[in-house]
């Protein structure tokens, strides 16, 4: 059964439009409390830097307290930090108020269980079923209480530092850090400074409306220019909620999630600490699969979405996976995608190998890949009619020289057309051909 509100990464939409209203957030909290903690418990709530976060924080707090749960308010903190504190503070569930890489006009709500992992589809179905019922208010003697955790940020900083060797130092390394004016704007610079890096911060001045605005992992152009301009050793970009990582080498070239996954996998393989397969997604570059295969490292593809990467890693006892976009999972270090922790793992490889980021990433060839996002009012049938005919024609043309991935986004009203192959111009031309078929059918 399809979920009505939950997508691949929680509930997301435009603030003020259903379902992203204060009234809905209150009902959602009440529904989640009845499913996950019917006899009371504790919930940790954190957010990114969007101005609407204040509204949703208050609404969720009211819904949980009325349903008999105690609330721990963590304030602005990266999504993985909220997952960590959910575990370390002994909360029954965690809630993140964020729309990740979207503009400030959007927001979202997503949940973690007490282990700091995303909820299963079954639990999300159960919460949606409870949304059909009115929110509850328990008797006064059973109401919850709310507490603000003033040192939440510091606790997460020390956790991030604990994921690397205590001997790791970044003295003499000039790093440009772009926090997308988002949730990591304080913790990421402070952790890197603690390790001795010479920092050039950008995208670290949030005002509630500039999150992800021409900065961060989805807009790395400023980072590229700054790295070259200040002659830095590398650049680090997070997204608005801090769970996504993209890096830039000293030449100003982007090193994406596939390349970073290659760097981490090859080093863990060399050290003998890599267990299970490496897991990517349907969108992962073919070059990653081939490069890992040459090293005898098994590579599997999950559906798009870090929750599906996580599920496959758990199924096959793997520890390393991720997406091209920069959602990387290092399960030997933490339970969820964490941009800062992933960056620290890459920096460790750089320091221990004595090689540059450009050198380490060069071992993975990148096949030309074109991604076209087709905005649609309603998702058409992607397996029938002119769309299917266009895809079959392109697949026949490319043969074993490439592949096609066609999928509806779980977070935006778009259909994503991805074509990958040996010839860049051919890839672009056939991707446009499929995109035209999608537009016609939408």
pLDDT number for residue 141: 97
Q: Report angle CA 92, 10, 98 to the nearest 5 degrees.
A: 90
pLDDT number for residue 1: 56
Q: Is residue 431 part of a domain?
A: yes
- Identify the CA nearest to 369 among candidates 304, 437, 414, 417: 417
- Give the residue numbers marked as catalytic: 100
Same domain, 352 and 262: yes
Same domain, 377 and 422: yes
Q: SS3 helix, strand, coil % of the chain, rounded to 5?
A: 40, 20, 40
Same domain, 246 and 265: no
The tokens of 21 are what? 């209203």
Q: Checking phi first, is residue 246 left (phi over 0); if not, alpha (psi -120 to 50) or beta? A: beta
Rounded Cα–Cα distance for residues 306 and 10 (Å)? 12
The tokens of 48 are what? 């990114």
* 271-296 average pLDDT score: 95
Domain end position, chosen among 94, 123, 151: 151
410 or 80: which carries more pLDDT confidence? 80
Q: Is residue 349 part of a domain?
A: yes
Q: Is residue 3 part of a domain?
A: no
Residue numbers of the domain that contains 238 = 171-254
The verdict on whether omega for the bond into residue 149 sits within 30 degrees of 0, i.e. cis, is no
Confidence of residue 442 (pLDDT cuts 50, 70, 90): confident
Give the pLDDT confidence of 296-333 residue by residue, as tens digits: 999 999 998 888 999 999 999 999 999 999 999 999 99
The tokens of 59 are what? 């609404």
Domain end position, chosen among 254, 282, 307: 254
* 340-351 average pLDDT score: 98
Res 144 pLDDT > 90: yes
Same domain, 194 and 265: no
Q: Is residue 412 part of a domain?
A: yes
Q: Is residue 98 part of a domain?
A: yes
How would you list the strands of the sheet with 245-248, edge to edge?
198-202, 174-178, 234-238, 245-248, 254-255
Rounded Cα–Cα distance for residues 70 and 388 (Å)? 51
Residues 138, 253: contact at Cβ < 8 Å?
no
Confidence of residue 422 (pLDDT cuts 50, 70, 90): confident
Rounded Cα–Cα distance for residues 254 and 257 (Å)? 10
The tokens of 10 are what? 């929680």
Sequential DSSP letters for 298-356: -EEEEPSSHHHHHHHHHHTT--EEE-TTS-EEETTT-SS--HHHHHHHHHHHHHHHT--
- Work out how many domains the chain is built from and give that number: 4
How high does pLDDT run on average in the chain?
95
Question: What are phi and psi for residue 358, nearest 5 degrees?
Answer: -60, -40
Write down the residue that tokens 């096959």 correspond to.
316
Res 411 pLDDT > 80: no
Domain end position, chosen among 151, 183, 208: 151
Res 402 pLDDT > 90: no
Give the chain's end-to-end CA distance (angstroms, integer): 23
Same domain, 277 and 346: yes
């Amino acid at each position: 059964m399809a979920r009505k509100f939950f997508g691949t990464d929680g509930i997301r939409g435009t603030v003020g439009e259903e379902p992203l209203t204060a009234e809905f957030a209150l009902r959602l909290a009440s529904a989640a409390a009845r499913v996950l903690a019917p006899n009371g418990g504790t919930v940790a709530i954190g957010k990114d830097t969007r101005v609407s976060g204040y509204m949703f924080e208050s609404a969720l707090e009211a819904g949980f307290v009325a349903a008999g749960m105690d609330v721990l308010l963590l304030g602005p903190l990266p999504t993985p930090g909220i997952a960590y504190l959910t575990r370390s503070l002994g909360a029954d569930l965690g809630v993140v108020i964020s729309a990740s890489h979207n503009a400030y006009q959007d927001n979202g709500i997503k949940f973690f269980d007490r282990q700091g992992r995303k909820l299963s589809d079954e639990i999300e179905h159960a919460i949606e079923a409870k949304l059909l019922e009115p929110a509850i208010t328990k008797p006064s003697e059973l109401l919850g209480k709310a507490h603000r955790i003033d040192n939440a940020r510091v606790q997460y900083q020390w956790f991030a530092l604990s994921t690397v060797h205590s001997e790791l130092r970044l003295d003499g390394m000039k790093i440009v850090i772009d926090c997308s004016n988002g949730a990591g704007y304080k913790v990421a610079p402070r952790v890197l400074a603690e390790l001795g890096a010479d920092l050039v911060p950008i995208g670290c001045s949030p005002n509630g409306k500039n999150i992800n605005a021409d900065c961060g992992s989805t807009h790395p152009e400023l980072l590229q220019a700054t790295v070259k301009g200040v002659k830095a050793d590398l650049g680090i970009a997070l997204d608005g909620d801090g769970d996504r990582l993209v890096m830039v080498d000293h030449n100003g070239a982007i090193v994406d999630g596939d390349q970073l996954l290659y760097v981490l996998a090859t080093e863990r393989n060399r050290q003998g600490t890599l267990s299970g397969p490496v897991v990517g997604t349907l969108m992962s570059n073919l070059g990653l699969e081939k490069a890992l295969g040459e090293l005898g490292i098994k590579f599997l593809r999950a559906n798009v979405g870090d929750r599906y990467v996580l599920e496959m890693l758990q199924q096959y006892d793997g520890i390393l996976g991720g997406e091209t976009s920069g959602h990387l999972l290092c399960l030997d270090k933490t339970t969820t995608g964490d941009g800062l922790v992933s960056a620290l793992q890459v920096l460790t490889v750089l320091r221990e190998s004595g090689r540059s980021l450009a050198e380490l990433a060069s071992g993975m060839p990148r096949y030309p890949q074109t991604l076209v996002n087709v905005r649609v009012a309603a998702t058409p049938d992607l397996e029938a009619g002119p769309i299917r005919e266009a895809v079959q024609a392109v697949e026949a043309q490319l043969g074993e020289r490439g592949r096609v991935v066609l999928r509806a986004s779980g977070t935006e009203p778009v259909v994503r057309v991805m074509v990958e192959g040996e010839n860049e111009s051919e890839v672009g031309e056939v991707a446009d051909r499929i995109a035209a078929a999608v537009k016609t059918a939408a």
